[in-house]
Amino acid sequence: MSKFTRRGGPTPAAQITAAIIEKLEQGTKPWIKPWRGVPVSRPLRSCGTPYRGMNTFWLWMIAEAAGFMSPYWMTYRQCQKLGGQVCKGEKSTIAIFYKSYDKQIKGDDGEEGTEKRRVLKAYAVFNADQCDGLPEMYRAKPEFEPVEPAGREERLDAFFSSVGAKLRHQGAEAYYEPVLDRITMPPATLFDGYDHYYATLAHELSHWTGHGSRLGRDLKNRFGSESYAAEELVAELSAAILGAELGLPVAHLDHHASYIAHWLELLKSDDRAMLTAAAKAEVAASLILRLGGRSGAGSEAAAADLAEAA
């Protein structure tokens, strides 16, 4: 049995290594974090002691992926002892450490003695951004005063509010979580303008339409798969349609080389992929427009196009 496996599945070290490899294959160095206006810090325990070794890079990677700004990580009990509470639905992250112990051994000469050994252990931690009620010191301290960007429009605030998606503002990343059926957006102060905030929200809402209770697209597959590339293409095209309807920019969305490479691979492997993606995007955009109180007159035609493309 490999040191990276155990009965019932891979060890925590193997899981972390696999996740880092996946990031590297995407062309991303997971230990390079865009700090976005907060002081650079190693990941910290609740007592303020820095994490070391693999935990440093692992927790940096998790923080970047989830958009966590606080450097502090803690167990569920540590959070409670500090007067806080882990927010409902938040998932823990594993951290690893070596635990030393003495083992009784018998030497070649028959003499008994003890030997120092170490075993790799794992425990569950949460970032301070996943907790409510913690002392202020556990929150990230921006290096500058947040400035409200220009371009906020009441009509667009009303539109996106009417859609009814579960939305929270936290961290520095925008993403949709199918299991929690929730969109996370950075605060608007991290955007150059409200037009880009609205456009990013339109993209994440397009993913939101794929939930099983709505349009039921495949949202389970990981980065690099054909279905993942197809879903990102659907969201990109849907956001473009919403941009045209609502007057939003779309040029800044998902033009990373890794996305484009996967789309090209997808389109070259299936000459009907673009037809299918465009039809699904039309249905997604029509649903969002209807929920937001805009005309959804094209939804029936889009549905027919989708059935034809499938």
What's the confidence (pLDDT) of residue 8? 61
Tens-digit pLDDT profile for residues 233-281: 888 888 888 988 898 865 544 444 455 566 667 777 776 777 788 889 8
- Chain centroid to Cα 61, Å, comes to 11
Contact status, residue 120 vs residue 98, Cβ threshold 8 Å: yes
Q: What are the boundaries of each domain within the chain?
A: 5-138, 154-309
Q: What is the chain's alpha carbon radius of gyration, rounded to the nearest angstrom?
A: 23
In whole angstroms, give the CA distance from residue 245 to residue 211: 23
List phi, psi (to 5°) of 85: -150, 130
Q: Could you tell me if 45 and 74 are in contact, meaning their C-beta atoms sit under 8 angstroms apart?
A: yes
Is the pLDDT at 187 greater than 80? The verdict is yes
pTM, 2 dp: 0.63
Q: What is the rounded CA–CA span in Å between residue 16 and residue 13?
A: 5
3-state secondary structure of 292: coil
Measured in degrees and rounded to the nearest 5, phi and psi for residue 103 equal: -120, 130
pLDDT of residue 24: 64
Contact 262, 228 (CB under 8 A): yes
As a whole number, mean pLDDT of residues 7-19 equals: 74
Q: Residue 19 and residue 15: Cα distance in Å, rounded? A: 6
84-89 own/partner pairs: CB under 8 Å, 24+ apart: 84/131, 84/132, 84/133, 84/134, 84/138, 85/131, 85/132, 85/133, 86/126, 86/130, 86/131, 87/130, 87/131, 87/132, 89/180, 89/182
Higher pLDDT, 108 or 167: 167
Q: With beta carbons less than 8 A apart as the criterion, state whether 282 and 305 touch.
A: yes
* pLDDT tens, position by position, 22-72: 766 666 665 555 445 556 678 999 999 988 878 888 898 888 777 788 999
Q: How many CA atoms lie within 13 A of 123 on its CB side?
A: 12
- Measured distance CA(296)–CA(293) in Å, rounded: 8
* Banded pLDDT at 194 (limits 50, 70, 90): very high
Q: How far apart are CA 149 and CA 166, in angstroms?
A: 23
Residue 131 in this model has a pLDDT that exceeds 70:
yes
pLDDT of residue 257: 47
How much is the average pLDDT of 148-175?
Answer: 91
Q: What is the DSSP letter of 44?
A: B
Q: What percent of the chain has pLDDT over 90?
A: 32
